[in-house]
Chains A and B, each alone.
Chain A
């Protein structure tokens, strides 16, 4: 297992400790990511997971939730995958069902993948190139949520997006059974193509998988586990895939536990209590704020804090009054006390205030905050005087505003705070709380005329375009659709041109592209279409018996690597 690259300067300064550390890190990382052998003393047992509710369909090409994204990575494989490892290694692409990462051909518009031999689905059938080709057609046939944004550059995708039922991807995806290869042709080079292929919506399914949402019926996969039973109101049960044979520890490590029981129905408070009492091993839902001091004091060894490449932000609709006025949006940005938001979220250990779209660590990230008392790199304090002046200049004070937030405890508190800020600025504000399951689609649909909403964005894959292009390009603004992820409705042709240029530059010159992303990040931040609040960290609470907790920034808590014996 590779070790995260070290900064050469620090290597020179601290050679001896670094060498010792390197050895230790190598051992640890190897231990962490190694799959269990048949005689491993940790192998076996049942991992018990909890969530307040199921997350709907278990069709991996359709489900677009973090909750089941964690399950998909243990049950299915794509041609390529993100490495199942902690830290920066989690964002490295490795071959999965493909034997190797192919070099781009035809100017970055063709990729020829050679499939591994002998890999079987959980029903015993061997994975073939026909399955892989059918998978890409299925992404469009089921109108997968990312079909139009991630896979639209495949030749033939336009026709498939127009008429999904008759999708052939002719000329776009070519299977050669004899050579065991799958060729994918693109209409234009795509610097993020491997990352998109590694995403859960491109996992390989059997060719005869239904060309519609499979709902609660599991589709066979190639991962270490298979879904044995699923009742979205009660439980999902994973058991070992009897046909799984290890082919790549870094892409799909074998699992330690024999069974994973994912129970639904307990609220977040009860989930915490169950884990504290040793009745469950891990919970999906965020830990309620009032339990944090107690857990931090009594269960420190069972808590795991990991940074997320994500933002919590306020989306302001630039097409609806009063937020169609940039002065109003700037005023909101200036008036929000981001420290207050961090406090609500659980304190500085769990979130870091920010003003910009790109999270730290992303290509092109340069700290930037124009909406603070002393504009510069970091947010320091709200500037209420300036905010009030902007509202006065805009002449919009007194206009009614409705703020939409989720009805979960943390969002309700943040919504109440924002309501107070907006009232303070002179906009009589109504706070409308919607169920967690509908709020995200509700705020996207322009028919609902949402003025301002509180939401979050977690990366699909680690690329700046996954924030800037996905959240703010004209292509992501689809009036009347529940999948209009450009919630602010910002559509600027100039910005679109910049985005396209940065993505194209990234293929051959990542450094130049990073500089472009920095400029785009500032441009979008300056537009004040959203008020970014903070970058959250994730806090996992695990049982006393759970060992080998490994967190991947891409897949989060890695189920396969955890043991309970």
Chain B
């Protein structure tokens, strides 16, 4: 009797790695996907700002054009038009219309609002993004050091976080910005000028550090007493290697969750600073400073203030939705809670 071959034991499906699994879950989340697409659209549009200014609006969005004219329906029109009603007082910038130039109208300097909106987005995204990266890097480094080494190092760093935490974020950011907006920031021989977007990025990153460092410290403190870390220490593995191989990968999920959340917060902070004229300095623009420009046109051309406001809302909304989705797929504690 022929031997019946024993059926092969069913092979368990190859276990997907945590990152691949997270990516799969993320792509299945329609909300997250929509948010990512929206964010990508905003980023691409902002990156294309020079192209738009040169090829479409054909204006320099940083140069005043108060006496300028454009051709509409074959007729020359002033970019800033004199009022003709009643006493004929005041001047009103050209309004939004479906045309290539001045699509969203002009501001009170006769500049193309649409072009400035895109350039402003570049500045806002760049500053918020840089601040996020610097803040997370610094916060993670300090949190890991405090959590891993404990003792005096932890005590000193934790008090530092407490002091920073004690200040309202905006108050601290505004204070630092006011101090540096006139003279720039001197760090030893290094001078970061007030007009350099790195300056608001550094300030925003600095005030956000405790918000990252403290949860990272708590997580590392727990990891420090976990068996695999104790074993590594017992085997005499160098500290730097433990931190790199055993600790950092275990907090990387948390850090990744922080990216969109902090980016959204930083974007709002940057806009607030620029709105108060202590962030991005003119003639450069950010969404916050364009809102400020639009304040004096609220009655006649509200679109100047509304357009960057809507852009901020959409970007922050997209970042928050993305942040929530990332937290769901990457934060193990959150997963446990959901179950």
Contact = CB atoms under 8 A, between A and B. Distances in A.
Contacts of A420: 62-64, 109, 283
Interface of A: 288-298, 300, 303, 305, 337, 339-340, 343-344, 346-350, 407, 409, 413, 416-417, 419-421, 423-424, 430-433, 539
Contact of A413 (B86, B108, B194): B108
Contacts of A289: 90-91, 108, 296
Nearest to A429: B283
B85 interface: yes
20 contacts: A289-B90, A289-B296, A290-B92, A290-B300, A292-B83, A292-B91, A293-B89, A305-B87, A340-B67, A343-B67, A343-B91, A348-B82, A349-B87, A416-B283, A417-B109, A420-B109, A424-B63, A430-B195, A430-B281, A539-B89
A433 B64 CA distance: 18
Interface in B57-107: 62-64, 66-67, 80, 82-83, 85-92
| B interface: dominant SS | loop
B90 A347 contact: yes
7 interchain residue pairs of minimum CB distance: A292-B90, A296-B89, A297-B86, A340-B66, A297-B85, A296-B87, A420-B64
A344 B296 CA distance: 11
Contact of A416 (B86, B89, B282, B299): B282
Given A413-B109, A419-B282, A344 B66 contact: yes
A37 B313 CA distance: 62
| A interface: dominant SS | helix
Nearest to B82: A347
Contacts of B295: 409
Given A303-B89, A539-B89, A347 B83 contact: yes
B153 interface: no
A436 to B, nearest CB: 14
A380 to B, nearest CB: 12
Given A289-B91, A303-B87, A343 B299 contact: no
B298 interface: yes
Contacts of B296: 288-290, 409, 413
Contacts of A344: 66, 91, 108
A431 B284 CA distance: 11
Nearest to B302: A290
Given A296-B88, A339-B67, A347-B90, 7 more contacts: A297-B85, A303-B87, A340-B64, A344-B108, A349-B89, A420-B63, A431-B281
Nearest to A305: B87
Contacts, number: 107
A423 B284 CA distance: 12
A347 B91 contact: yes
A148 B298 CA distance: 46
A340 to B, nearest CB: 4
B299 A294 contact: yes
Interface of B: 62-64, 66-67, 80, 82-83, 85-92, 108-109, 182, 194-195, 277, 281-283, 295-301
Contact of A346 (B63, B89, B109, B297): B89
Candidate in B63, B82, B90 with the most chain A CB atoms within 10 angstroms: B90
Contacts of A339: 67
Nearest to B89: A296
Contacts of A340: 64, 66-67
Nearest to B296: A409
Contacts of A421: 64
A407 B292 CA distance: 12
B277 A433 contact: yes
Contacts of A293: 83, 85, 89-90, 92, 300
Given A416-B282, A420-B283, A432-B182, A337 B87 contact: no
Contacts of A291: 90, 299
A462 to B, nearest CB: 27
A417 B64 CA distance: 6
Contacts of A424: 63
A305 B89 CA distance: 10
Contact of A296 (B83, B108, B182, B283): B83
Contacts of B64: 340, 416-417, 420-421
A433 B282 CA distance: 11
Contacts of B298: 290
Contacts of A413: 108-109, 296
A409 B194 CA distance: 22
Contacts of B67: 337, 339-340, 343
